[in-house]
Amino acid sequence: MTTDPRRAVPRTDTVLAEPQVAAAVARLGRDLVKTAVQAAQQQVREGALAPDDVVPAVLDGLPGSTSSLRPVLNATGVLVHTNLGRAPLSPAAVDAVVAASGTTDVEIDLATGRRGPRGEGALGALLDAVPAAGAALVVNNCAAALALVATALGGELVIARGELVEIGDGFRIPELITSTGARLREVGTTNRVAVADYTGALGPDTGAVLKVHPSNFVVRGFTRSADVAELSTALAGTGVPLVADVGSGLLRPHPLLPDEPDLQTTLAGGADLALCSGDKLLGGPQAGIVLGRAELVQRLRRHPLYRALRVDKTTLAALEATLRGPVPPVRRMLDADLAGLRARAAAVAAALRARGVEADAVEATARVGGGGAPEFELPSAAVAVPLAFAGPLRAASTPVVGYAAGDRTHLDLRSLAPADDERLTAMVLEVAATWT
């Protein structure tokens, strides 16, 4: 007489009550774990799984977290990689996010018990970092900052034709601006614009003069542009504000990036407002930062659109920790010592060769990324492994993203923290084990 296999299937509530499964329920939620239990029960019914193996099968089938986002090792040599989440947060910023994830004093004065300024700590940190600014405002990204400026200042915005840029994924500055209802007054030509072009375009409907840093491209040859200081002087007494979108979020000049505009110099040079991203060279969370004249910043703050664009408590916490805490990872990557990178690459390659993997330490070229310093190359060091490893590395238990260089896959160490070298080695060995 044949035994019905359904009799051997452990009950759902019995499996859910197992200590390890119950712990998974507390971490991942009942619905997700129950789905995994039901899948294991079906395997028992089909004879593909022994009843005693249901609990291990359930645990093996569960994800590490409830989020579909996975940590990735960025071995591309692109320090601010948009597809990989741009700037990695510092440990101090991560701790700040965790601390702010519960109830916080984000908008209350604990001394009086009354409503207080929202994100006062983060705004104060911005003003300390950029003394030329009179006030600060934070929204959810730099495009939002530009949209708020265009909406609040309104009317006609004067901009050079060569600065009507397109950035990633087909996003175009002129389309963003006109979507707010503002009008564009284009001046100059694609390659040349003079101060007189700007001043000649001013009229009663002019809301602002807008200067946008091209960020991800360079025009060379027969060119001319007007810098912030020139425009500020020309606009003095007109009442027309000068707004500079500097893009990458460099707080102050950096010796390696002499052509990249920074917030302090831009404002000190006469810009009334400066806009930037928080998750590029500033090294913090995704945010759009507005710095400048207090009365203009307050005008933006009081505009109804600001409410739709403001950031949450965790962003404010991460931004403040980035500004007040230790040097963020992006800056450490930018300033990394080449000799140290070469030593790291040699050590990783040697560890891999010792386990039978074809690996060599090679010279490499890294880049800033995120639309910053498009022509600037950073000398770097990488570990070269077989070209066929590229796909399996992306599918590893901790995905690794490198790049193809000739007939090898290069894993650039400038975009990785030294603490990640051991994990990188482990993932290459994990892939190599599937080839033997």
Judge whether 322 and 328 are in contact, CB under 8 Å.
yes
> What CATH number has the domain spanning 89-326?
3.40.640.10
* Portions of the chain given CATH number 3.40.640.10: 89-326
Q: Which pLDDT value is given to residue 1?
A: 43
From 188-197, 218-227, 268-277, 378-387, the region with the lowest mean pLDDT: 218-227
Q: Residue 217 — pLDDT band, cuts 50, 70, 90?
A: low
- Give mean pLDDT, residues 373-381: 83
Which amino acid, residue 144? Answer: A
Give the dihedral of Cα atoms 176, 142, 376, 360; nearest 10 deg.
Answer: -110
Bin 361: left if φ > 0, else alpha if -120 < ψ < 50, else beta. beta
pLDDT tens digits, one per residue of 242-271:
999 997 889 999 988 888 899 999 999 999
Predicted TM-score (pTM) of the model is 0.88
CB 235 within 8 A of CB 209: yes
Q: Each residue of 30-71: pLDDT tens digit? A: 999 999 999 989 898 888 898 888 999 999 888 877 777 889
**Top CATH class, 73-81+332-433:** alpha beta
What pLDDT shows up at residue 259? 81
What is the spatial distance between Cα 35 and Cα 33, in angstroms, rounded to a whole number? 5
Conformational region of residue 169, where left means phi above 0, alpha means psi within -120 to 50, and beta covers everything else: left
Q: Is 397 helix (H, G, I), strand (E, B) or coil?
A: coil
Yes or no: say if 26 and 18 are a contact pair by the CB < 8 Å rule.
no
Pairwise CA distance, residues 414 & 338, whole Å: 9
For 418, half-sphere exposure in the C-beta direction (CA atoms, 13 angstrom radius) is 11
CB 37 within 8 A of CB 60: no
> Among 40-54, 207-221, 300-314, 316-330, where is mean pLDDT lowest?
207-221
68: Cβ–Cβ under 8 A, 6 or more apart, which residues? none
